[in-house]
Amino acid sequence: MSIESTYSQLRSLYEHCETGIKEMIQKHKSDPDLFHPIGEDPYCQFCEQYNELSKKATIIRNNIEAYEREHPVDAPLISKVTAPSPSKPPFSVYDVQFNTGEHFLVYSDSAESCCTFLNKTTSSLLRSNRISKDYFDSFYLEDEQGSVIPLRTAVKGLRRKNKLIAEKAQTKLRTRGLCFNEAPFEFFKYSADNLNRLKAFCGEDCPISKTKKFTNSGRISVQDKRGMFAIENGQVLLKIGKDILIPLSKEEFEQNFSEDESLTWIKK
């Protein structure tokens, strides 16, 4: 296979990934049961597919750009990213993650500009995503005092100048995560609105069915390897090890366990 054929295949794969990413964003946005930013929930199938496609697209794009630096091509992809145009590209917020584990929100005009501003190389860029203005109200930033503001408020009034908006770090607000006793246990705060995510949390080997009281209290029945139990709105499902599920009331959970500190965007 010639180098030119390989390049054409890479361009085709990249366009396929970009189309898939747009589809995942639209499906995620259209689902009335989802309230988290896309890519942030490990139990959400849209987030999982979005992250896989984004990672694949980044690898393919890097290979395409490496080829275009050495060979002249018609309508190169790299020019769409870095070449100047008659009208300057609009500034927006970029979600950039590096192979060092660092994770930032940066106000800039491109992922490459974010790297330059942060004194990072583009080769260290693990993942980048330009956040649509439609999602500005889905990102929340926490300041040093623990107050929370939406991303839209943080960027209001900013001019065309690179600015570090936030860095992913340990939150001071304990809202979700792992709880600890002698060893860390996963937990899930149940409500009828997140029934699908509860099914993912429990796994395929735990059939879940609605009871007659589902409409009023969200009450469902869960069948695990140890038997059947019921859980309703406000209760917490504790996962011990791989297969042990224990339903607790909100009061029982708060009296016996403490939650770990979740990662959140810390305002800069």
Q: Provide the residue-wise pLDDT of the chain in tens; the chain has 268 residues.
A: 556 678 888 888 888 999 999 998 988 888 887 778 888 888 888 888 999 999 998 898 888 888 877 777 777 776 544 444 456 678 999 999 998 889 999 999 999 999 999 999 988 999 899 998 888 888 888 877 667 888 998 898 888 899 999 988 766 555 555 545 455 778 899 998 888 898 888 888 889 999 888 988 999 999 888 888 999 999 999 888 767 888 999 899 888 877 766 666 777 7
pTM assigned to the model: 0.36
The rounded distance, in Å, linking the Cα atoms of 93 and 164 is: 9
Q: What does the radius of gyration of the chain's CA atoms come to, in whole angstroms?
A: 22
Residue type at position 134: D
| Region of 72 on the Ramachandran plot (φ > 0 left; ψ -120 to 50 alpha; else beta) | beta
Are the CB atoms for 222 and 141 separated by under 8 Å? no
| pLDDT (0 to 100) of residue 70 | 79
| pLDDT (0 to 100) of residue 84 | 46
| DSSP code, position 133 | G
The rounded distance, in Å, linking the Cα atoms of 35 and 194 is: 10
| pLDDT (0 to 100) of residue 85 | 47
| pLDDT (0 to 100) of residue 97 | 92
Sign of CA dihedral 117, 121, 126, 127: positive
The rounded distance, in Å, linking the Cα atoms of 261 and 263 is: 7
